[in-house]
Amino acid sequence: MKVCACAVILSVFAAFITVPSAWDNLRFKIGNYDIEGETALVKNAIRQFSAHIAGFYDSGGAAAGLNTIPAANMVKRRIAMDIRDLIDKGKVLAIDRDKSSVKQILFADLTHAVAVVDEDWFSQYQDAQLRARKPLSAKKAGFITVRYFLKKMWSRWIIIDYEVYLRDDEMMPVPFEQFLQW
């Protein structure tokens, strides 16, 4: 009986040391982590993303603004590309987030989270030079639901991708297998 117990303990030890981040995963699985603290950090990352993205569009894509956006390079590149495309056409997009409410935050593990957020945005195309003095379109309201995919890197949550839905659109199940590989 003692030998069997030793074998079981040895097996648990072997399973523990052969898996990377085993301690973090164990803490997550048994719920021994600060979920409220992490939720606050995720919300903060999304808030920062929205605030910086608005400022970045408004500034016409000032390069310094890129570093402040808590997002993966692919996301930043896409935003920068959009702004450059608008500048080429002599426009800037003035966007302003009116309201946002986090509907759901789901942690896939300690370093991957999915957040569903209802966001109300107002946007207006303006002349790149004359700005608000020469609006190129009427102020438009956009009521969207965004599903953010976040990853904790270097102790901070960053947005690695997002999906944009119209309010009350049906969402597909989260592709966890793919998401956890990011």
Partner 1 sequence: MVKLKNLIISSEALAACAAFIVTYVCLGLSGIFSSVPSSLMKILHKPPALIGLLFLLVIIFVRLLIFAKARSTAGQNGVSGILFYMGIILTIIGILVSSQMRFEGRIYLPEGESFSGDARGYIEGSVYAGKRSFPPAMKLHMTNISPFFRGGRFGSGSIASELLYTGVGNKYEKKMKINSAVPVLADGVFFRIRSFGYAPFYRLTDSSGKLLDEAYPMLRLFPPGAEDSFRVEKQPYTFYMKYYPDRAVIRDKKIPIPEQGKGGLYKLRVARNLEVVFNGYVVPNEIYQVDSTYISFEDLRKWAEIEIVKDYGIFMIAPGLLMIFVSILLGWRRKTNVPKEVFGKESVEENR
Contact positions vs partner 1 (CB under 8 A): 3-4, 6-8, 10-12, 14-16, 18-19, 21-22, 25-26, 28-29, 53, 78-79, 81-82, 85, 89, 95, 108-109, 112, 119, 121, 123, 142, 144, 146, 163-166, 169-170, 172-173, 176-177, 180-181
CB of 146 vs partner 1, minimal distance in Å: 7
Q: Which helix (H) or strand (E) holds 104?
A: strand 91-109
In the DSSP assignment, the letter for residue 10 is: H
- Side-chain-side CA neighbours of 152 within 13 Å: the count stands at 15
Task: Write down the least CB distance from residue 51 to partner 1, Å.
Answer: 13
* Block residue for tokens 């944009």: 164
Cβ closer to partner 1: 22 or 62? 22
Kindly state the smallest distance separating residue 56's Cβ from partner 1, in Å: 11
Q: How far is the CB of 170 from partner 1 (least distance, A)?
A: 7
Spell out the residues 6+ positions from residue 159 whose beta carbon is closer than 8 angstroms to its own. 45, 46, 49, 70, 71, 72, 75, 148, 149, 150
